[in-house]
Amino acid sequence: MSAISPQRAALYAFVARHQRFLLTTHVNPDGDAIGSEVGFARWLKAQGKQVRILNDSPTPTAFEWLATDDPIEVYTEELAETRFAEADALVVLDTGNKQRIGRLHLHLDRHVIDIAIVDHHVTHEGFGSVNLIQPELAATAVLVYEIARESGVPIDRVSAEALYVGLATDTGYFRYSNTDARCHHMAADLVQLGVNPQNSSSRISATAPVGRLRFFGEALAA
């Protein structure tokens, strides 16, 4: 096994020293954002942590099924104040830009809370005490998957489904140039864990807007 990077080691230490977590992502979340939140939440819960997920924007209909067991709440000022007061750590997934988490960023000045960023975008360096940002990865879901595997915490069926959606949607169902061997190895492992790729894509496309339906049809036909 290769050595754990200092950034990942810092995240593991961050998780170890906290118990009550609040997760969020960018406004107008996509499949990678929602899939990564669900996967990360279940990774934390498997370690006995308390977890809430709160986003500025509603979950797109196409991805609501991923959050059946792990509800994703939608911002109101009162709810955000409650969730920030309850938590001792905030994890921001799929963005390192404070403004991109929408109205939740307004609460950061009102609460003393430790922050970790888990992301794969290069546009920002992160605003957390821990910033785990790996731009060489195709999706944040890849990073969450590798964290789970590296830490030895089992990936259950729900997590596998969520992480597969994150990977598949951010690679255009493995059509984009960011698709590499790492992606295919991850996909194969998730399929072995029970993911049915056809069922996954069908559940997304069944509730997606017309434009998205056309995209998934083209992706699956390729």
**pLDDT tens column, 20-31:** 999 999 999 999
Going by C-alpha positions, the residue among 56, 98, 97 that lies closest to residue 79 is 56
Q: Which residue from 155, 198, 147, 162 is spatially nearest to 67, judged by alpha carbons?
A: 162
Question: What is the token pair recorded at 211?
Answer: 């434009």
List, as one string, the DSSP characters of the chain: -PPPPHHHHHHHHHHHT-SEEEEEE-SS--HHHHHHHHHHHHHHHTTT-EEEEEESSPPPGGGGGGGSSS-EEE--HHHHHHHHHH-SEEEEES---GGGGGGGGGGTTTS--EEEEEE--SS---SSSEEEE-TTSS-HHHHHHHHHHHHT----HHHHHHHHHHHHHHTTTTTSTT--HHHHHHHHHHHHTT--HHHHHHHHHTTS-HHHHHHHHHHHH-
CA dist., res. 119 & res. 67, Å (int): 20
Helical packing angle, 210-221 and 197-205, nearest 10°: 160
Mean pLDDT of the region 111-139: 95
pLDDT > 90? residue 3: no
Mean pLDDT of 156-169: 98
Per-residue model confidence as pLDDT tens digits over 55-70: 999 999 999 999 999 9
Residues 192-216: pLDDT tens digits?
999 999 999 999 987 655 444 444 4
- The dihedrals phi and psi of 91, each to the nearest 5 degrees, come to -115, 120
Q: 137 or 220: whose pLDDT is higher? A: 137
Contacts of 100 by beta carbon, 8 Å cutoff, 6+ apart: 26, 27
pLDDT score, position 192 = 97
Contact assessment for residue 68 and residue 39, using Cβ atoms and an 8 Å cutoff: no
**Closest listed residue to residue 53, CA positions, set 41, 62, 63:** 41
